A and B are shown apart, each in its own frame.
Chain A
Amino acid sequence: MAVSEQPKGDLSARSNAAVEARGLERRYGEGETAVDALRGIDLTVRSGELVAIMGPSGSGKSTLMHILAGLDKPTSGTVEVAGTEITGLDDAKLTRLRREHIGFVFQFFNLLPMLDAEENVTLPLSIAGEKPDRAWLDSLLEQMGLSDRRRHRPSELSGGQQQRVAIARSLVTRPTILFADEPTGNLDSKTGGEILELMRASTDAYGQTTVMVTHEARAASIADRILFLEDGLIVKELHGASQQDVLAVMNSLGT
C-alpha cells in the first residue's frame, strides 16, 4: 500500500502530542443536585497512538471524550488539539478545527440515509468544499472492504458495513485525531471483531491517532494504551494489555 502519510497538524512545537488535557473538571447542574463527571484529569495522547478509555457507566468516560473532541466544554482545565487550545474557541473556530483535525465514529453509525456509501464517505470533504483524492478514496474503500458497496444506501448495508462506511468517512480527511464512541456497541461480536481489526489496521497503516471510548474488554485490548476511569478520575493505565488483563482490572474496579 502506497499510502502512509502522516496525519496533518502542527506538531513540531509540542513533542508529538495530538491531544493534551490538563486539570479537566466537569460539573453538571448546580447546588445540591450537581454532579461532578470529571474531577481533575491530565492526559496526553501521542501521535499515532490508539488509546482506549474504559470505565463503568457514569465514570465520566463519555464526558471526557466529548470534551477532548470539543463537543462539550470543561468547567475548568484546558484541552489542546493539534497544538490549539480549544476550550475557549467559539463555534466557528471549533467547526474549523473539526473539519481539519477531528474525525468521529459513532455507536449508531450516524450515516445520512439519503446518501450512498461513497457519498457518505466523502461528505466531510464536500462540506469543506474539497474534492476527494480519488486514489486515497479508492484505497480507503478497498481497505474497508467496501469497493463493491459504493452505490449502496445505508439501508441496504449490514450494521458492520455501515460502521465501515463510518470509519472510512472519519479517515477520509486524514484527521489529526479520530474519536470513536463505542464503535462496536451496536454490532454483534463477530462483526465487532472485524471492525476492531480495521481500526487497529488503520492506526498501523496510516499512523492514525485514535481515542476510543468503550466498555468492552475485547475492544480495549486492541489499544496501545488503556485508561480506566472511575468517578471522574483516571484510576489505572495499561500498556499493550490483553483481553484477560483488561478483564482483571475491570473486575478489580467492580464493573
Chain B
Amino acid sequence: MISVALRGMMRRKLRTVLTAIAIVLGVALITGTYVLTDSIKGAFGGIFSQVYRGTDATVTGKSAFTLSGQSNQNAPPFAESLLPKVRSLPDVADAVGGVGGIAHLILGGTVVHFGGAPNLGFSVDPKRPELNSLTLVRGDWPGPDQIVIDQATGHKKHLSVGQTIGVQANGPTLQMKISGFVHFGGAASLGGATLSGFDLPTAQRLFQRIGKLDQIRAKAKAGVTPAKLAAEIRAILPPLTQVRTGQAQAKSDARGTESFLNFLQDFLLAFGGIALFVGSFVIANSLSITITQRTRELATLRTLGATRRQVRRSIVIEGLAIGALASVVGIGVGLGLGVGLFKLFDLVGFTLPNNGLVLHTRTIVVALVVGILVTVLASLRPAVRATRVPPIAAVREGSDLPPGRFAKFRPVGSALLTAVGFALLIYGLFAHGLGTKGILLSMGVGTLLIFIGVALLAARFARPLAWILGSPAARFGGAAGALARDNARRNPQRTASTASALMIGLALVTLVAVIAAGITKSFRGAVNDLWVSGYAITAQNNFDPIPIAAGNAAAKTPGVQAIANVRGGDAQILGGVHQATAVGPGGSQIFNMKWLDGGSNAVFTKLGAHGAFIDDGFAKSHHLTIGSPLILTAPTGKSVDLHVVGIFKPPTGGSPFGPVTISDQAWDKIYDTPMNIYSFVRMKGGETVADKAALEHQLKAFPNAKVQTKQQFIDNQISGLNAILNVLFVLLALSVVVSLFGIVNTLVLTVFERTREIGMLRAIGMTRWQTGMMILGESVITALMGGVIGIVLGLVLGGLLAVRIDFIVFALPWKQVIVFAIAAVIVGIVAAIFPARRAGKLNVLEALQYE
C-alpha cells in the first residue's frame, strides 16, 4: 500500500510539484532566516572574541539601574584616575583606557553612511595594538588630530592616507588627517557601519569625555588567569563600574547584536509560519481535488480488500512524502536565499560580516519537522474524505462522495469556529492581566481560527459571490465569460478553498495597511495638534541624538523667536525605568499642550531645578497630582528631587515628551554628555525659504543635523514606518505567491478533470483563445473572491486593533485597498497562464475519447 501511495504520487508529477511548492517557499524562508541570522551571529561572535583576544579583563561603567535598551543610552563613563590604579596592580602586565561612541565621518559637508548602519568611533593606543579593537591594515596608528578609518569605508569613498576628513561626535565637527586604515577585529566590514579610531586625548575631546573613560582593558602577567585578574581588579573598583573577563566582555558586546538578531529571526520566522499556514490550505485543497479524481482508483483498492484505515494511511503517507520532499528542497532553496540575502544587503551597502554560511543541525531539524508536520496535518481532512469513497464507486460512473457524518453541522461548526476565533482575539485584546505571551497567544490562535472558520464558511457564499464578481465576465466576455462564471460556481467548496489561501495573505496585508494608516493619521494629528508651525532639527537618520551645541547654534540664528530642545533617556522613577525627557522654557512658545488641572504653557517656564510635568497616564497609574513629589535617577546614579508642576494629556498619536519631563538644566546636571533628540524652532515669519536657509547656514558645523519644516518633519518621522511597511508587504507577498501556486494547481487539476468537456466545447466550435479566456475568467473570479473576503477581513481585524490600541485611530487606506484588489486580479491572471495554455493545447479528438 505504501508503494502504491508513493508511486501514485510519482505518476502525478506536475501536481506533486505544484503542491510541494506551497511548502517549499515556507520552509525556504525558515531555513534562510536561520542561515542568515546564525551566520551573522557566528560572524559577530567571531569578531568580538577577536577584538578581545589580547584582553584578559575589562572595566566598564555600570548604570545605576538596568537600562531599557530602547534609547541610545549607554552606561556612564568613569574617572580616568582608575587607569593608573589598575596598572599598578601586581598581576596586571599592561592596561589601556578607551572611550567610544557614535562618530560621523563628514565628506563634502555630508555624513558618510551606508544604509541604516551606525557610525562608530573608538580610541586606540598606538603603543599597545594588542589591546585595541581595531587592527591596522595600512598606514599608521593615529597621532593627535589624526584618524584611522575602516578599510571598507575607505574603499567605498576612495579615501587615501594623508587626506583630511571631518568628524563629528558629541560636539562640533573637527577636521582630521587620515593616518591609516583598519579592520574591526578580523572583519573588513561590520554591516556597513563606518568605523573610526583616534588617539585617546583626541577621542576624549570628540566624545566629550575629558578626564573620563568608557573602558579599561587589562592584560594579565604570565600564569595569571583572567578570573584571578578580574577578582584582583574588582577589589579596587569604585561604584558604578564593573569588571569582566575578556571573554565575558566579548559575549556581552555581542549580546546587543544578538538580541537584535534574535528579534529579526523571530520576525522572519513568523512570516515563514504564515507562508506555511497558507501552504497548508493549498495542500489540503489539491489533495482533496485529487481524491475526487481518484475515486475509482480508491474504490478499486477497497474492493480488493483495502480497509478504510489503509486508504486513509495512503493519503497521509502521500502527504508525508510531499512534505519531506518539499522540506528537503526548501532547505536547499533556503540556503540559496541566505546567500541571496547577504548579496542583497551587500548591494544596498549594508555589508554583513560573513564568515561562511552557518547551517546548524537545528535549522535542518526545525525545517524538516515543521514542513512535514504542516503537510501531514493538511492531508488529514482529505485523508478522512478518501475513506468515504465507497467500494461500489469502482463500478459506478461519476458517483459522488457520500457526505460525512458531520456534514450537516458544517455551516454551524464553521460559524462557531469563526466566532470562537473572534472571541479569543477580542479576549486577547481587551482582557486585563494577560501577560505579553498570553495576549499574543490568544490573538494568534484567535486569528488562526478566524482564518480557518472563514475559509470553511466561504463555501457557503461562494456561489452568490462568484455570481457577482463574475458578472463583468459574463456580461462582456461572451460565451467564454459566461462559462467562466458558471465554472467558478459549480464546485463552490473548491472555489472557496482555493480563494481562501489568497484570502489569508490579503487579509494580513490589509491589516498591516490599516494599522500603518492609523499610526500615520494619529501621528499627523498629534504633530498638528501639538505644534503650530516652525522648524524641527533632528539627525539625518531622524533618530540619532544630536549635540547640544547644534541646538545652541540654531538658537543664535537671526529671526529665532523661541527654541525648544528636547533631550531624552532612561531614568528610574518611582521604582520603574521610563523614558524621561527634558525641555527648556522655550517650549511655552512652541507647543500647544492640553494641560489638565488648570495648567497652562507657563508650566514650561516653571520647571526650574526641581519641577516636572507628567502625562495623564503616568499620573493615574502612580496616583500623582500637582505638587506630588518624586525622584528621578539617571544612569550615572545621580538623582534629582522633583515635584509635579503640570499634568498634560498627550494626543492619540503621542508627543515628543515621555511620561516625566524635567527642565534641560536639571537634566544636564545628572546626565552624562547630554544630547538633544529634537529641537523645535519658531521663527519670525513662520516657515520661509530664507528662514530655513539661515538655520542651515548656522548649522554648517553640524552636518548630521537636519532642518525640516513641519510637513517635512512629519514625512521624515513616518518614513521609517513606511520602510517597515514595505518590508512587511514584501514578506507577506511570499504567502500571496504560495496561494498563487494554489490557484494554478486547482486550475490544472480542473482542466484535467474537464478534459472531455473542453474537448466537446472545442468540437462544437470554441476557439483556443476562448478556451483560454474561460480558464482565465474562472481564475480571476476565484482570486477576486479571495481578495474581497481577505480585504474585508483585514479591515475588520484592523478596526478591532484600532479600537484597542491607544495610539492608533481607524483610517481606511483606500488607495492601498484598491491596489490590493488589482493585485488579486493580477494573481488571477498570472495563475491562469499555464493552465489556460494547457487547456488550449488539448487535442480535440483525444480529449473527447478521454475517459
Chain A contacts to B: CB under 8 angstroms: 62, 66, 71-72, 91-92, 95-96, 98-100, 102, 104, 106-108, 110, 112-115, 123-124, 126-128, 169, 173, 181
Looking at chain B's contact residues, the main secondary structure is helix
Task: Give the interface segment out of B7-15, B248-256, B530-538, B622-630.
Answer: B7-15
CB of B11 within 8 A of CB of A99, answer: no
Task: Give the interface segment out of B298-306, B352-360, B437-445, B668-676.
Answer: B298-306
Chain A residues with Cβ below 8 Å from B394 are 71, 104, 106, 110
Say which residue of B303, B305, B308 sits within 8 Å of A128 (CB atoms).
B305
Chain B contacts to A: CB under 8 angstroms: 1, 3-4, 7-8, 10-11, 296-297, 300-308, 310, 390-392, 394-395, 851
Chain A residues with Cβ below 8 Å from B8 are 112, 114
CB of B395 within 8 A of CB of A124, answer: no
CB of A115 within 8 A of CB of B4, answer: yes
Q: Contacts A95-B305, A127-B1 known; A115 to B392 CB distance under 8 Å? A: no
**In whole angstroms, how far apart are the Cα atoms of A173 and B11 in the complex?**
27
**In whole angstroms, how far apart are the Cα atoms of A124 and B307 in the complex?**
11
**In whole angstroms, how far apart are the Cα atoms of A96 and B851 in the complex?**
31
CB of A114 within 8 A of CB of B7, answer: yes
Chain A residues with Cβ below 8 Å from B395 are 62, 66, 71, 106-107, 181
* Residue of B297, B307, B390 with most chain A CB atoms under a 10 A cut-off: B307
CB of B4 within 8 A of CB of A99, answer: no
Q: Contacts A95-B308, A110-B296, A112-B4 known; A127 to B391 CB distance under 8 Å? A: no
For this complex, 21 residue pairs linking A to B, each with C-beta atoms less than 8 Å apart, are A71-B395, A72-B392, A92-B307, A92-B308, A95-B306, A98-B302, A98-B304, A98-B305, A100-B305, A104-B304, A110-B296, A110-B394, A112-B4, A112-B301, A114-B8, A114-B10, A123-B304, A128-B305, A169-B304, A173-B305, A181-B395
> Of all chain A residues, which has the CB nearest B9?
A114
Chain A residues with Cβ below 8 Å from B1 are 126-127
B395 to chain A, nearest CB (A): 5
B787 to chain A, nearest CB (A): 38
CB of A114 within 8 A of CB of B305, answer: no
CB of A124 within 8 A of CB of B305, answer: yes
CB of B392 within 8 A of CB of A124, answer: no
Chain B residues with Cβ below 8 Å from A108 are 296, 851
> Of all chain A residues, which has the CB nearest B310?
A127
B401 to chain A, nearest CB (A): 15
**In whole angstroms, how far apart are the Cα atoms of A72 and B390 in the complex?**
9
> Of all chain B residues, which has the CB nearest A110?
B300
A130 to chain B, nearest CB (A): 10
CB of B302 within 8 A of CB of A123, answer: no
CB of A123 within 8 A of CB of B392, answer: no
Ranked 8 nearest A-B pairs via Cβ: A99-B305, A71-B392, A114-B7, A110-B300, A114-B11, A124-B304, A127-B306, A95-B307
A172 to chain B, nearest CB (A): 10
**In whole angstroms, how far apart are the Cα atoms of A106 and B851 in the complex?**
15
Q: Contacts A106-B395, A114-B4, A126-B1 known; A95 to B302 CB distance under 8 Å? A: yes
Given contacts A106-B395, A114-B8, 5 further A-B contacts (CB under 8 A): A98-B391, A104-B394, A108-B296, A114-B7, A128-B305
CB of B392 within 8 A of CB of A104, answer: no
A215 to chain B, nearest CB (A): 15
**In whole angstroms, how far apart are the Cα atoms of A126 and B301 in the complex?**
11
* Residue of A102, A107, A128 with most chain B CB atoms under a 10 A cut-off: A128
